[in-house]
C-alpha cells in the first residue's frame, strides 16, 4: 500500500479515514480522492528541510501535476509559491485568490494573450524560455504594472536525468530554455540585463521528471553555479537566484519504495551541494527555488473506480474492466507507467487471482495494469488505483466522450468535493448545434 491508507473493520479501504466504498456511493465513480494531510505533509517536509539547511529559499508547487481552486488555496495557505505554465493555470490560480507575487510563470510558447494577462496582473517571477520571447519582453515589459519585471532565464545544462525520454527536459536538444553551449545562454543574459525594464534575478533549469537519483540534480548545480560565476567574472553580472525546477521521483509500486530519495534527503543534498560549490567559487549563496509537482501530490492521490464486466479468455487472460481508463489516467499508455491497485470493498483475504485491469475506451492499449494479483473480482466491486495524484486529473481527456471524474479531498474522516464530476450535459455545453434543416 502506498501512503497512509488503512483498512477498517468492514475490510474496506480508508483514505484520510474515509471509507472508499462510502465515497464511491456519495460522489460516484470514477473519482479522484486526495488525502489532504498527505499533500500538506509533503509541502511542509520541503519547507522544513529547507528551513533547517538553507538561509533563503522558496518552494513553488508545480501546478501542472494537479491544479484546481482548492489546491491553489492549500498551496497559498502553506506559504508556497505556485508554478503555472499557461494562461489557464494562471487564470485558475488568480481566480481562486492566489497572490500574483508568488506565481512563477513558465512556458516555451507563451502566447500574446498569455503574456498580456500576466503583464496586466503581475507575476512573482517570469521564466524566459527563448530569444523570441525575450525580444517580445524587452518591448512589452515597459508596460508592466508592478515596476521592473522580475525574470529568470531558463537554461539547459546538458544533464541526462536517466528518466523517460518524454519527460527529459534539460538536454541540449531540448525544446526548452537556452542551451549553455556556444555562449547562447550567456548572450541571452547579457541582452536581458541590458534592459532597464527587466530585473534579471537568476537562472532556472528543470532537467526532467520522475528522477530516481540525486546525482543529475547535483551535476546541474555544479554546471549552473559555474555558469553564474562566469557571468559574474566576465561581465560583472551577479545573479542572486537559482531555480532548480522539479523532478524528484516517487515510488508507484510497493517494491519501489526504497528506490527514491526522500524529500528531506533531496533537499539536504541540494543545499549541501549549493553551499559547497558557492564556497569553492566564493559566490554568495543564491536564493534557492525548487518546483516540485509529483513528489507533493502523487502518493496522496488515488482513483476509485467501479468494476464493470469481467471477461475471461480461458487459459489466456482475465480482463477486469473499470468505468474509466486512459481518459482519466493516460500515463500507462503514454509512458508505460506502472500502477498498483486494491479492491476497496474487500481489501484483504480470500482467494487470489491474476487479472488485467482495463478501461472502457475503444483502444486495445487502454490497459491500466497489465497484470495484478487481486482477491477474486466481480462486477460492482470498487477498485482503487494508487499513486494517481500527479498528471492524472491534469492530463485527463474526454476521449470517447467519457465525462471526466470529480475530485474529493479527504481529511480526518471528512470528505469535501473540490471539483464536480462532469455530467453528460457538460459534454454538450460547448457545442454549437445547427438548427434542424440548416445543415
Q: Do residues 430 and 33 touch, judged by C-beta distance below 8 A? A: no
Nearer to ligand LLP, 228 or 248 (CB): 248
Nearer to ligand LLP, 16 or 330 (CB): 330
Torsion of CA 170, 176, 182, 183, to 10 degrees: -110
- Going along 338-387, which residue ranges are E strands? 341-343, 352-358, 367-375, 382-386
Interaction of residue 294 with ligand LLP, rule CB under 6 A: yes
Q: What residue spans of 129-171 are helical by DSSP H? A: 131-140
Query: CB of 348: closest distance to ligand LLP in angstroms?
Result: 30
Using the contact rule CB under 6 A, the part of the chain among 193-201, 244-252, 398-406, 424-432 near ligand LLP is: 244-252
Provide the mask over 407-436, with x wherever binding to ligand LLP is found by CB under 6 A and - wherever it is not: ------------------------------
Distance CA 151, CA 129 (A): 10
Interaction of residue 245 with ligand LLP, rule CB under 6 A: yes
Distance CA 379, CA 360 (A): 14
Among 122, 161, 170, 293, binds ligand LLP (CB under 6 A): 293
Distance CA 40, CA 53 (A): 20
Distance CA 198, CA 426 (A): 43
Beta bridge partners of residue 329, listed in sequence order: none
Provide the mask over 2-41, with x wherever binding to ligand LLP is found by CB under 6 A and - wherever it is not: ----------------------------------------
Exposed/middle/buried for 348, CB within 10 Å: 0-12, 13-18, 19+? exposed
Query: CB of 249: closest distance to ligand LLP in angstroms?
Result: 7
Among 35, 89, 229, 291, binds ligand LLP (CB under 6 A): 291
Residues with Cβ within 8 Å of 409's Cβ and at least 6 positions away in sequence, in order, are 16, 34, 36, 70, 415, 416, 418
Nearer to ligand LLP, 62 or 118 (CB): 62
362 included as an active-site residue: yes
Nearer to ligand LLP, 27 or 289 (CB): 289
Distance of CA 434 to the CA centre of its chain: 39
Torsion of CA 405, 304, 255, 66, to 10 degrees: 30
Among 62, 82, 149, 152, binds ligand LLP (CB under 6 A): 62
Interaction of residue 246 with ligand LLP, rule CB under 6 A: yes
Query: According to CB under 6 A, which residues from 176 to 235 bind ligand LLP?
Result: 206, 209-210
Number of residues that bind ligand LLP (CB under 6 A): 23
Among 292, 344, 359, 387, binds ligand LLP (CB under 6 A): 292
Query: CB of 112: closest distance to ligand LLP in angstroms?
Result: 21
Distance CA 178, CA 185 (A): 5
Question: Which of 305, 297, 277, 274 has its CA nearest to residue 287?
Answer: 274
Interaction of residue 241 with ligand LLP, rule CB under 6 A: no
Say how many C-beta atoms besides its own lie within 10 A of residue 182's C-beta. Answer: 9
Rg of the Cα atoms in the chain: 23
Distance CA 324, CA 329 (A): 8
Query: CB of 164: closest distance to ligand LLP in angstroms?
Result: 7
Nearer to ligand LLP, 94 or 206 (CB): 206
Query: According to CB under 6 A, which residues from 321 to 360 bind ligand LLP?
Result: 331, 335
Among 13, 18, 24, 65, binds ligand LLP (CB under 6 A): 65
Nearer to ligand LLP, 134 or 415 (CB): 134
Where in the sequence numbering do the catalytic residues fall?
A: 362
Interface residues toward ligand LLP, by CB under 6 A: 62, 64-65, 83, 106, 167, 169, 206, 209-210, 245-248, 291-295, 331, 335, 390-391
Amino acid at each position: 500500500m502506498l501512503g497512509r491508507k488503512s483498512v477498517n473493520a468492514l475490510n474496506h479501504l480508508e483514505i484520510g479515514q474515509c471509507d472508499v466504498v462510502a465515497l464511491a456511493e456519495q460522489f460516484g465513480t470514477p473519482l479522484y480522492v486526495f488525502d489532504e494531510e498527505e499533500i500538506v505533509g509533503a509541502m511542509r517536509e520541503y519547507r522544513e528541510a529547507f528551513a533547517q539547511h538553507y538561509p533563503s529559499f522558496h518552494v513553488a508547487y508545480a501546478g501542472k501535476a494537479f491544479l484546481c481552486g482548492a489546491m491553489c488555496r492549500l498551496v497559498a495557505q502553506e506559504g508556497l509559491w505556485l508554478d503555472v505554465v499557461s494562461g489557464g493555470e494562471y487564470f485558475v490560480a488568480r481566480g481562486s485568490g492566489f497572490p500574483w507575487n508568488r506565481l512563477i510563470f513558465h512556458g516555451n510558447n507563451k502566447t500574446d494573450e498569455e503574456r498580456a494577462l500576466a503583464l496586466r496582473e503581475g507575476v512573482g517571477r517570469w521564466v524566459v524560455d527563448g530569444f523570441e520571447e525575450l525580444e517580445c519582453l524587452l518591448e512589452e515589459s515597459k508596460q508592466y504594472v508592478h515596476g521592473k519585471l522580475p525574470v529568470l532565464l531558463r537554461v539547459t545544462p546538458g544533464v541526462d536525468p536517466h528518466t523517460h525520454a518524454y519527460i527529459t527536459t534539460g538536454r541540449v536538444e531540448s525544446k526548452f530554455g537556452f542551451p549553455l553551449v556556444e555562449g547562447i545562454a550567456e548572450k541571452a543574459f547579457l541582452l536581458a540585463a541590458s534592459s532597464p525594464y527587466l530585473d534579471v534575478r537568476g537562472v532556472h533549469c528543470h532537467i526532467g521528471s520522475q528522477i530516481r537519483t540525486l546525482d543529475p540534480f547535483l551535476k546541474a548545480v555544479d554546471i549552473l553555479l559555474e555558469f553564474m560565476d562566469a557571468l559574474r567574472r566576465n561581465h560583472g553580472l551577479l545573479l542572486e537566484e537559482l531555480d532548480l525546477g522539479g523532478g524528484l521521483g516517487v515510488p508507484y509500486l510497493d517494491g519501489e519504495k526504497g528506490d527514491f530519495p526522500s524529500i528531506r534527503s533531496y533537499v539536504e543534498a541540494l543545499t549541501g551541494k549549493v553551499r559547497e560549490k558557492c564556497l569553492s567559487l566564493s559566490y554568495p549563496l543564491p536564493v534557492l527555488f525548487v518546483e516540485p509537482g509529483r513528489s507533493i501530490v502523487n502518493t496522496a492521490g488515488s482513483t476509485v473506480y467501479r468494476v464493470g464486466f469481467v471477461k475471461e479468455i480461458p487459459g489466456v487472460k482475465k480482463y477486469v474492466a473499470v468505468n474509466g481508463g486512459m481518459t482519466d489516467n493516460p500515463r500507462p499508455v503514454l509512458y508505460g507507467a506502472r500502477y498498483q491497485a486494491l479492491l476497496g470493498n474487500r481489501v484483504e483475504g480470500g482467494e487470489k487471482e491474476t487479472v488485467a485491469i482495463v478501461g472502457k475506451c475503444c483502444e486495445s492499449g487502454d490497459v491500466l495494469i497489465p497484470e495484478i494479483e487481486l482477491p477474486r473480482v466481480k462486477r460492482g466491486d470498487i477498485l482503487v488505483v494508487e499513486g494517481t495524484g500527479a498528471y492524472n486529473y491534469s492530463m485527463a481527456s474526454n476521449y470517447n466522450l467519457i465525462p471526466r471524474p470529480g475530485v474529493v479531498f479527504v481529511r480526518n474522516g471528512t470528505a469535501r468535493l473540490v471539483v464536480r464530476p462532469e455530467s453528460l450535459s457538460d459534454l454538450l455545453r460547448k457545442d454549437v448545434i445547427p438548427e434542424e434543416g440548416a445543415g
